[in-house]
Amino acid sequence: PASSSSSNEKAATTPEANEKIEDVRVSPAKLGSVVPTLAFPSISTADFQFDLDKASDIIVETAEEFLPKLGSARLALVDLSHGSKILSLVNAKASRKNIDLERFFTFVGDITKLHSQGGLHCNVIANAANWRLKPGGGGVNAAIFKAGGPDLEAGTRARANTLVPGKAVVVPLPSTCPLRNAEGITHVIHVLGPNMNPNRPNCLNKDYTKGCKILREAYTSLFGGFLSTVE
């Protein structure tokens, strides 16, 4: 592990010098095993039909705002395919800003299998939930509830029965939960984003003034919830 490999160097160098050595030597993959990391899907941009360009602005801006509060913790936007448009937009916009790209990055994979299949260790994952906090319904919600099993359902119920758009709820996972055993995930944060799909509840009928406000609140609530698990 990273900590033991640096113990000899610590004795021989000043703390400042030692920190520098660790910065260069420890690979991001190794850091992944110790650094608190939130993996999150793009909220509202698939089933809820939110505009991708507007969503990518909000993701990058809220991440930029939270990174200084998060210490060394990392934020990873995840999607299923290398062709993901939201990942490309966010990558392009983040690279134009003064953002630490080691702590804010995109990753391709199934959010329920990031450690076992993708080699990325995230201790917290976010879910793009529905207002009833119910399993199923497709998308990332169905995948996360399936992977979390009854423990995730019970843990969710213990915290909340419903969610309003723009809000998030943090659910700690017990040691029996498969997401915790197999993937090292200690918390799932359910987030309800704004809905632009006329076939789903609370449709905003393309009102992007409201929609953008709610999506911004959703990410603020999500990153704030992650911050509470780090502190």
Q: How far is the CB of 172 from ligand AR6 (least distance, A)?
A: 21
Rounded CA gap, 219 and 29, in Å? 25
Rounded CA gap, 182 and 143, in Å? 15
Among 141, 156, 186, 221, binds ligand AR6 (CB under 6 A): 141
Reduced to 3 states, what is the DSSP secondary structure of residue 37? strand
**Taking contact as CB under 6 A, which single stretch among the options 29-37, 60-68, 140-148, 168-176 is the one that binds ligand AR6?**
140-148
**Is position 46 an interface residue for ligand AR6 (rule: CB under 6 A)?**
yes
Reduced to 3 states, what is the DSSP secondary structure of residue 40? strand
Nearer to ligand AR6, 36 or 193 (CB): 193
Q: Provide the 10 A C-beta neighbour count for residue 217.
A: 20
Site for ligand AR6 in 15-34 (CB under 6 A): none
Q: How far is the CB of 44 from ligand AR6 (least distance, A)?
A: 4
Q: How far is the CB of 217 from ligand AR6 (least distance, A)?
A: 14
Rounded CA gap, 61 and 55, in Å? 10
Among 58, 111, 120, 126, binds ligand AR6 (CB under 6 A): 111
Rounded CA gap, 22 and 68, in Å? 20
**Taking contact as CB under 6 A, which single stretch among the options 66-74, 109-117, 177-185, 209-217 is the one that binds ligand AR6?**
109-117
**Taking contact as CB under 6 A, which single stretch among the options 99-107, 132-140, 170-178, 212-220 is the one that binds ligand AR6?**
132-140
User: Strand pairing of 124-128 and 37-41?
Assistant: parallel
Q: How far is the CB of 28 from ligand AR6 (least distance, A)?
A: 20
Q: How far is the CB of 2 from ligand AR6 (least distance, A)?
A: 27
Nearer to ligand AR6, 111 or 170 (CB): 111
Residue nearest to ligand AR6 (CB): 139
Give the contacts of 48 (CB within 8 A, at least 6 positions apart). 128, 193, 194, 195, 196, 197, 200
User: Strand pairing of 168-172 and 187-191?
Assistant: antiparallel
Among 37, 42, 62, 221, binds ligand AR6 (CB under 6 A): 42
Reduced to 3 states, what is the DSSP secondary structure of residue 59? helix
Count of residues near ligand AR6 by CB under 6 A: 25
Q: Kindly state the DSSP code that residue 158 receives in the 8-state scheme.
A: H
